[in-house]
Amino acid sequence: MLTLFPEMFPGPLGISLVGTALEKGIWSLETVDIRDYGIGRHRNVDDTPAGGGAGMVMRADVLGAAIDAARASAPALTAIYLSPRGRPLTQARVRALADGPGVMMLAGRFEGVDERVIEGRGLEEVSIGDYVLSGGELAAMVVVDACVRLRDGVLGAADSLGEESFEAGLLEYPHYTRPREWEGRAIPDVLLSGDHRRIADWRRQEAEALTQSRRPDLMATAAKGDNDD
């Protein structure tokens, strides 16, 4: 994790399922403080944008040196730059990253990073959604969390991955548990029928209706039977 704020890590990644997996050594995390590669007495990492305009841009020479140092110890890693300009993260991309050798992630601050470092170091730009965060660190944590929970030994046997949202290209059906009635709301009868066939049909219909109303874009992909991206 290349960041100006290494103290943000592991942060929430040190807690619960993912944190326990970190303690068990199922995954590991190394932070690189970009400031260590800063220029001059003040360890400058940014400068004003060429062409003028507001904000500051992270320097290509500083980031290049930080990336090269990280790559020297881990050359095989996929290199990602978290950015709202990136391709939106999907469960399919998460699966591929989780199956891979690991990821090197650059978390930007300020207006962004010098474009030449993205090109020159072949960084894959990844977005976690159409909104702008104050830095890439939280986005990087989202990527890690989504990947780590797919690794063997992280989820208990009781936690099924098979039916969760996006695995079939659909949003997940609604869940219920005791009590049977709460504030006048009953659990749908079909779920108490013991008829596994009817339950499966009902869940499929609910998942399709939910996806159709909230995410019609996913519906189009699910219909093609292709949710690989």
Q: Which stretch binds ligand ADE (CB under 6 A): 51-59, 95-103, 122-130, 211-219?
A: 122-130
**3-state class (DSSP) for residue 171:** coil
Residue 6 CA to residue 105 CA, distance in Å, equals 12
Minimum distance from residue 133 beta carbon to ligand ADE (Å): 4
Q: How far is the CB of 13 from ligand ADE (least distance, A)?
A: 16
Shortest separation between residue 46's beta carbon and ligand ADE, angstroms: 15
Q: How far apart are CA 63 and CA 115, in angstroms?
A: 11
What is the smallest separation between the CB atom of 83 and ligand ADE, expressed in angstroms? 5
Using alpha carbons, list the distances in angstroms from residue 157 to 161, 183, 200.
10, 32, 21
**Residue 175: other Cβ atoms inside 10 A:** 8
Given 129, 153, 174, 179, the residue binding ligand ADE (CB under 6 A): 129
**Of 9-17, 133-141, 157-165, 217-225, which segment contacts ligand ADE by CB under 6 A?**
133-141
How far apart CA 200 and CA 206 sit, in angstroms, is: 10
Binding site for ligand ADE (CB under 6 A): 82-84, 127-129, 131-133, 136, 139
